[in-house]
Amino acid sequence: MEIEKELKRIYNEVMQMDMLELKRAYEEAETEEELELYRDLFTFRLRQRQKKVISRKEFVR
Q: Give the three-state DSSP class for 57.
A: coil
Q: DSSP 3-state assignment of 52?
A: helix
Residue 11 located in a structural domain:
yes
pLDDT value of position 60? 64
pLDDT tens-digit map of 6-26: 888 888 888 888 889 988 988
24 lies in a domain?
yes
> How many domains, in total, are found in the chain?
1
Domain annotation covers residue 60: no
**Domain assignment present for 10:** yes
Measured N-to-C along each axis, helices 2-16 and 32-55 cross at an angle, to the nearest 10 degrees, of: 70
Is residue 61 scored above 80 in pLDDT?
no
| Contact in structure between 26 and 35 (CB atoms under 8 Å) | yes
Domain with 15 in it:
2-55
Q: pLDDT (tens digit, 9 = 90+) per residue, 22-47?
A: 889 889 999 999 999 989 999 998 99
The pTM assigned to this predicted structure is: 0.68
